Each structure stands twice: as C-alpha cells, then as structure tokens.
Amino acid sequence: MLARRTHRLTPAPDEVGDPVVYAGAGSPLWRTLQAFNFSRFVIALLLMVFLGAVEMRRAGGDDAIPYLQLCSVYLFASVAFWVLAMRSRERFLLQLSSQIGVDIVIIATLFVLAGGTRSGLAILFLFPLAGGAILAPLILALFFTSVVALVLLFDSVWQSLRMVPDVSISTAGLYGMGFFAVALLLNRLASRLIKQEGLAAQRGQALQLQEAINGLIVADMGDGILVLEKDSTIVTGNPAAQAMLGIALGDEGALQRLVDSAALVPIAEAWLAWIRRLPDDDAFAIYVMLKPAGRRDLSAHLKLRFATVHVPGLDAERTVIFLQDVTEIENRAQDLKLASMGRLTASIAHEVRNPLSAISHAASLLEEDAPDPTRVRLLAIIEDNVARLNRMIEDILKLSRKAQPLGEPLLLSAFFDDLLPEFKDIHGLPESVLVVTGATDCRVRFDPLHLREVVLNLLSNALRYASGGSGSIRLEVIALTASRIELHVQDDGVPITPAIRAHLFEPFYTTSSKGTGLGLYLARELCLNNEAMLDYEYRQDSGEDPEPSGRFVITFATANIL
C-alpha cells in the first residue's frame, strides 16, 4: 500500500501557545527574535559604558569592576544568543525562555548591586518582560512578570529589614502592577497582530494556489485566449492561442500588435468591428479565416468572442478574445455528412444514369426521323441538358471518390484570357464590369477544368448581386509568399452576413428559391481535391471605407511565381 506524503498543517504541541501559534523555521517570529537579540546587545553595551563609568566616578575603580564584569558577561551572552538564533531555528520557546531567564538574572543582579529600587534600574526589567509579552504565550509572559515582581518584593522586604532609608514595599508593588499591565497589553496587541499576519499569509497562499490552478486551466484548455490593450497590442496568450495563430508570446519585449501581422489582420478587423458596433455585447461572435504561417493546415477557421475587462480605479482597459478553432469541428461534421451522403449520392447517380441514357438514345432516334428544324432544335436542347446532367453526375462521383487530379502548373493569366471573354459573351457584360488585377503571372497547382467550374460558379454568384456598374465585379490575385497565392472574387453588392456565412458551404443550403445549394459546396470540394481552400472572408480594403468587405478567397497551397 502506497503512503502519501502530506505537509504538516498543524504545529507541534510544544510550539503552540495561546493565542500565538509558533511555527517552524519560516515563522516571522524568528525575525522578531533577531530584533530582540539586537536590542539586548545595544542595552548591554550601553550598560557597560555608562553604568561602569558612573560607578567609577562615584565609588572608585575597584567598586566598578563587578559592574563591568557583569555587563561584559551580558554583552557576551547577547552575542551568543544572536548567533544561536541565526544558526539554529529550532525550539523557539526554549531559546526565548533561556534568553529572558538570563536577562532577568543579570538585570536582577545589577538591580541588587546598585541598591534596589533607589537605583532606578527597575525600569530595565521592562526589556525582557516586553520581549516575553510579544514573543511568548500569555501564561509564560505572566510567569516572567511574576518572577520579576517577586524579585522586587523580596528586595524591598530585605531592604526594609536592614532599615535602609527611603525603601517602601508599596513602590515594589506599583512596579509589579505596572509590569503586569504592560505584559497583558503587549501580549494582546502582539497576539492580534500575529493573527492578522497569519490570516494574510493564509490568504496569500490561497491566492497563489488559485492563481496556479487558473494558470493550469488556462494553459491546458483547448480554446485560445488573447489579452489586448487599446492599441491592439497582445499582452499575453495561452499556448492554445499561440498554436492556433502560429505565433510565440514568450518575452515581454517581443509584444506585437494585431495590425502589424498580415496573418492576424482578420482578427484585428473583427476586433475593430466589435468595438464599433457592439462594444457592450460580450455574446458577440464572429467567424474569421486565418492563414497562420506556423500551422500545417492550409487555413484555420476560428470563432471569436470578445469581453472587456474593467478594473475599478484604473484607466487601463483590456479586451479578452476567446478563440475557438472550429476547423476540426467542421471537418468532422463534413466527414459525417460525406459518409452518409457518399453512398446515397453514388446510388442516385447510377440510378439517374440509366434514364439519361434512355433519353439520350431516344433523342438520337428521333433526330434521324425529324426533318423539321424546330424539332431538331428541341432535340438538341434535350441532348445538351443530358450532357450537362452526365457531367454533373461525373463531378459528384469524383467528389465521393475524393479524386485529386494531377496536372502541370496552370498560368493564371492564360486561364483568365480563355475564361473571361467567354463569360462576358454569354452574359452580355461590358468590358468594364469585370476587372482583373494583381499578380496574374503566377502559376498554381490546380486542374484547369476544376478551376473553371469554381471560378464560373463564383462569378455567377457575383453577377447575381453586383450592381452592374464599372468594376462591380473584381478578380484580384494576391501573392502573399512564393508558396501561398490567393484569388479574391468580390462584387459591390451587400456582403454576406456572419449568420449566413456560417452555413454558406453546407450542401443543399441556399438563400435563393431557384438555387439547389450545391454550387458552393461543390466548388469548395473541388478546391480541396486540388489541395486548395475556398472560403468567404471579411477583409479591410485599402480605400477610405472603414468597414471590412466580404469576398470569396481561393487559397492555393502550392504555387510559384515566374
């Protein structure tokens, strides 16, 4: 059976007094004892100098020798007690009792040699009695006071029996009463102060324990936490936030602002949007897509929540950002959907192929016996739509099989030169409506047919919501690094709201009565099959508009610039 080692939470029986608790070597009472020893050394030194000098002037050199010898012993004892208390922090009450006992004996001897109460040295008893009242339990302090009172009383009785003039037993009684009052008062005050110090120490330990627990929880929690100042400077962040963002926040001197890092700009824009719109709504949440450099993933989809930290009496106000990586959640949900839809999609595709084949064959037979131009045109429409359905079925089957076609790097400028004129002709668009900018001389790893389907889908969506004016649809190629290139598809229509954006790429989700909800879903899946990423992001434009605008962003994982 294993035995657990526990810390001692209660003091030993010989270390307990009422009301003071005497702990081990770390107790603050040892510091007070050191001050008591220093005071004894000073008193012994002063007694040796002044008392010896006074006796030498009054009675001659021979009569002063006992005083000097006794004060020398007292000085030596004070040094010995001081060294012992520094080197050995054990048996506190034993050391204290022996020290006060030596004090009483030496002071009593000086008191008797100097003539008793007439000498005025009775006041020296206050030193050991005050030390005992502060450092010792009440019973022990009263014992020391009783001993001193008896010494004063016996000396007065002895002096009275010897018929020494100006000696009164009442004087000794008054001294005793005063010593008892001082001992009681100092002991109560010291007891209260020591209790307060002990309570403060316990609360300090509780706070340290709570801080350690909070630090452990924050360090091990899965969600990320960032603390920002008013200028977006990152004050601190837990390890989960550093892993999500691909940054290191180790040194105080290495503080950085969100707006200074290109990868953290979406978080900065979301933070500014929260400040402008809903600064008092801690439930405000927004989704952002990041491309952190330190992560293996192509991108990270984060859910952000904000909270303001108000400290009464301080002007400094900080913001806490809670980051939840929903990428893995979305991937798991997507896998569950694909697992259930894969078999259904494949079976439906196979079942639809047979009627389509029959329709196509019947249309071919009718075309042979149909000299009427109108009938020929209608049969051509049937064949075209059958071909489109077949291509859609092929795409669905490829998605269910997670096909990843390999091909040569695709030059974007040549791709746009081939695609955009055809798109403009089909929809009858003027040249100025669709604008292409950026680094179009980049090569990317993407199947041309798949990229064509994705871009046509995005352009069709943009055309639906754009104003139709000059530059209302924009294609922009941004080369962030040699291995990371983005294609932005943007229109001047109303941006998609965050609530709709959360479900934008779900299959069969649509806001249009004429849509099927598969266009963006298939576009994203085609991007994933080509090791790319498609998402809808809110970015700050370089113009005067402070509001972030939405756009579709295709991030190519592997690319190079010519």
pLDDT of residue 488: 92
State the chain's mean pLDDT as an integer: 76
Q: Is residue 321 located within the same domain as residue 342?
A: no
Q: Is 204 within a domain?
A: yes
Tell me which of 47-56, 206-215, 257-266 is least confident. Answer: 47-56
pLDDT value at 60 more than 80: no
pLDDT value at 16 more than 50: no
pLDDT of residue 58: 58
**Which residues, 6 or more positions from 134, have their beta carbon under 8 angstroms from its beta carbon?**
32, 36, 186, 187, 190
3-state secondary structure of 133: helix
Tell me which of 44-53, 148-157, 319-328, 434-443 is least confident. Answer: 44-53
Q: Is 2 within a domain?
A: no
Tokens of 151: 């010494």
Q: Is residue 169 located within the same domain as residue 231?
A: no
pLDDT value at 72 more than 80: yes
Report the alpha-carbon distance of residue 78 to residue 76 in Å, rounded: 5
Measured N-to-C along each axis, helices 126-135 and 169-220 cross at an angle, to the nearest 10 degrees, of 30
Q: Give the strand order in the sheet containing 473-481.
A: 434-438, 473-481, 484-491, 549-556, 532-539
3-state secondary structure of 520: helix
State pLDDT tens for residues 111-161.
888 777 777 788 888 888 888 888 888 888 889 888 888 888 888 888 777
Q: Is 162 within a domain?
A: yes
Q: Is residue 338 located within the same domain as residue 447?
A: no
Q: Is residue 121 located within the same domain as residue 107?
A: yes
Q: What pairs with residue 228 in β-bridges?
A: 234, 319
Q: Is 451 within a domain?
A: yes
Choose one of 347, 378, 400: the last residue of a domain.
400
pLDDT of residue 240: 81
More confident residue, 232 or 561: 232
State pLDDT tens for residues 481-507.
767 788 999 998 888 887 788 778 877
Tokens of 223: 């969600």
More confident residue, 90 or 311: 90
- 232: domain CATH number? 3.30.450.20
Report the alpha-carbon distance of residue 387 to residue 357 in Å, rounded: 10
pLDDT of residue 253: 43
Question: Which element (helix H / strand E) includes 325?
Answer: strand 318-325
Q: Is residue 467 located within the same domain as residue 557?
A: yes
Other C-beta atoms closer than 10 Å to the C-beta of 185 total 12
Query: Rounded to the nearest 5°, which phi and psi values hold at 484?
Result: -145, 115
pLDDT of residue 280: 54
Q: Contact, 363 vs 377, CB < 8 A? A: no
More confident residue, 346 or 401: 346
Q: Is residue 68 located within the same domain as residue 171?
A: yes
State pLDDT tens for residues 213-266.
777 776 777 788 888 887 778 888 888 887 777 777 655 445 577 777 777 878
pLDDT of residue 345: 67
Q: Is residue 345 located within the same domain as residue 364?
A: yes
Q: Contact, 134 vs 126, CB < 8 A? A: no
State pLDDT tens for residues 328-337.
776 677 667 6
Q: Is residue 355 located within the same domain as residue 314?
A: no
pLDDT of residue 402: 52
Q: How many domains does the chain have?
A: 4
pLDDT of residue 55: 58
Helical H segments across 221-303, by residue range: 239-245, 265-277
Report the alpha-carbon distance of residue 259 to residue 230 in Å, rounded: 12
Q: Is residue 338 located within the same domain as residue 280?
A: no
pLDDT value at 168 more than 60: yes
Question: Which element (helix H / strand E) includes 320?
Answer: strand 318-325
Choose one of 211, 245, 276: the last residue of a domain.
211
pLDDT of residue 335: 67
Q: pLDDT grade, residue 407 (50/70/90)?
A: low
More confident residue, 178 or 246: 178
pLDDT value at 21 more than 50: no
Q: Is 7 within a domain?
A: no
Q: Is 216 within a domain?
A: no
pLDDT of residue 13: 39
Which candidate, 484, 463, 481, 474, places its Cα nearest to that of 539? Answer: 474
The size of the chain, in residues, is 562
Domain that holds residue 377: 330-400
Which candidate, 458, 461, 455, 471, places its Cα nearest to that of 410? Answer: 455
State pLDDT tens for residues 453-481.
899 989 988 888 888 888 899 999 988 77
pLDDT value at 290 more than 50: yes
Q: Is residue 296 located within the same domain as residue 258?
A: yes
3-state secondary structure of 307: strand
**Which residues, 6 or more positions from 224, have their beta carbon under 8 angstroms from its beta carbon?**
237, 238, 240, 241, 242, 243, 244, 245, 302, 322, 323, 324, 325
- Helices and strands (H, E) in the chain, number of each type: 15, 13
* Percent of the chain residues topping a pLDDT of 90: 3
pLDDT of residue 151: 86
Choose one of 355, 372, 400: the last residue of a domain.
400
Q: Contact, 296 vs 244, CB < 8 A? A: no
Q: Is 263 within a domain?
A: yes
* Percent of the chain residues topping a pLDDT of 70: 75
496-501-503 Cα angle (round to 5):
140
Q: Is 521 within a domain?
A: yes
Q: Is residue 320 located within the same domain as residue 460?
A: no
Q: Is residue 172 located within the same domain as residue 26?
A: yes
